[in-house]
Amino acid sequence: MGQAQSEGDHPEVTLQHIQELYRKFASECPSGNLHLHEFKRIFGLSKSSGEEEVAYMETVFRSFDSNRDGHIDFLEYVAAVHLILRGNLRDKLAWSFKVFDRDGNGCLDRDEVRGIIKIINKIKTPYDSGATADVNQIVDRIFSLVDKNNDSQISLDEFMEGAEKDPWVMMQLHLDIGPCEWFMEHQENKH
């Protein structure tokens, strides 16, 4: 009770899976770098994808581009896959914080939280116009529960503590892009 996903919740990733991941990376990214347009394609975004989905994927891409050079090399890719497939809850929360922290200053302000919550809300409920009206209420509630020193900014420590203590906050702040299923599905569909 109150515990997040255990290691056993995900299919086992073997050396063979990692080797196949490298082959797939090398075939889809012969330059040795994964660019944003390739990243979008891998995760199923098309020209008909919504603006929010595109913005979210761009934000996720930037979070994996650790050296900020505009592409993801194989080491960054492996780190991302490892985080997604095998990372513990604290690692995944730290990554979620990084996605929220668009300016990279180590703190979240209301605009950053509002931006990501709005995108996620639109993706989850694309046809419910009333759902987006709740974004400000969600942001206000997150700040009231998480911003312990009331400085209108959420530090990484506050983010982690708030998410770990309150299931509702966890649901709002823990990001999940579902690539574990994508990765395992592509392993099963390999030729």
Instruction: Give the C-alpha separation, 62 to 79, whole Å.
Output: 14
Res 26: pLDDT: 86
132: tokens are: 């987006």
Instruction: List the domains of the chain with CATH numbers.
Output: 13-188 (1.10.238.10)
Average pLDDT over residues 124-148: 79
Average pLDDT over residues 31-57: 80
pLDDT at 2 over 50: no
User: Which residue stretches of the chain are H helix?
Assistant: 15-28, 36-42, 51-64, 74-86, 89-100, 110-124, 129-132, 135-146, 156-165, 167-173, 179-188
Measure Cα distances from 57 to 50, 69, 96, 99, 149 in Å.
Answer: 11, 17, 13, 10, 32
Task: Find the farthest-apart pair of alpha carbons in the chain and give their distance in angstroms, rounded.
Answer: 55
Share of the chain above pLDDT 90, in %: 26
Res 131: pLDDT: 52
Among 44-53, 55-64, 109-118, the range with the most confident prediction by mean pLDDT is 109-118
Mean pLDDT for the chain? 79
Which residues are 73's β-sheet partners?
33
